[in-house]
Amino acid sequence: MQRLIATLLLAAAAHVHAATGPYDEAADAHAAVRTALAAAAQANTPVLVVFGANWCPDCRVLDTAMHTGSSVPLMQKNFRVVKVDVGRMDKNVDLAEAYGVPLKKGIPAVAVLSPQGKVVYATKSGELADARNMGEDGIYRFFSRVTAPAAK
């Protein structure tokens, strides 16, 4: 029952957040990643690149989970986050490919980069593409697992 309530709350928050959307459709994703890597190198912190789109309900749920609940301290402590808009799978595809993220397996998708820009982890099988059903706990567990290799 708690999982259902958490999922409903995340979905409601995502719906409200969808008015503007978590992904800046006009952003220069390449420049945003470069800026995050420069800051990450200074702080010796990995960069989490989140590929998604405003039309994607799972992307909005993931974004909400990253800003509320148990995932917030994990995100703030362990990552510099960059959100990359992929449009209708027709934008920034080259960036996803460069980091080994197969967008056709589903979005949201992520790549974790070392402060030097090396890929430490990338979703390969749509691991987050069902964020609505993962719930806050499932999303937290996913990022807890991803944090371990990124910290090395």
Give residue limits of the domains in the chain.
2-150
- Which pLDDT band holds residue 115 (cuts at 50, 70, 90)? very high
Q: pLDDT at residue 49 above 60?
A: yes
Q: What is the model's pLDDT at position 25? A: 96
Exposed/middle/buried for residue 106 (C-beta within 10 Å: 0-12, 13-18, 19+): middle
Q: Supply the pTM of this predicted model.
A: 0.85
Q: What is the model's pLDDT at position 18? A: 42
Q: Contact, 46 vs 150, CB < 8 A?
A: yes
From 11-25, 46-60, 68-82, the region with the lowest mean pLDDT: 11-25
Three-class secondary structure of residue 89 per DSSP? coil
Parallel, antiparallel, or unpaired for β 80-85 and 47-52?
parallel
Q: What is the model's pLDDT at position 147? A: 84
Q: Which fold has domain 2-150?
A: Glutaredoxin (3.40.30)
- Which pLDDT band holds residue 94 (cuts at 50, 70, 90)? very high
Q: Please, what is the average pLDDT of the chain? A: 88
96-112 tens-digit pLDDT: 999 999 999 999 999 99
Q: What is the model's pLDDT at position 14? A: 45
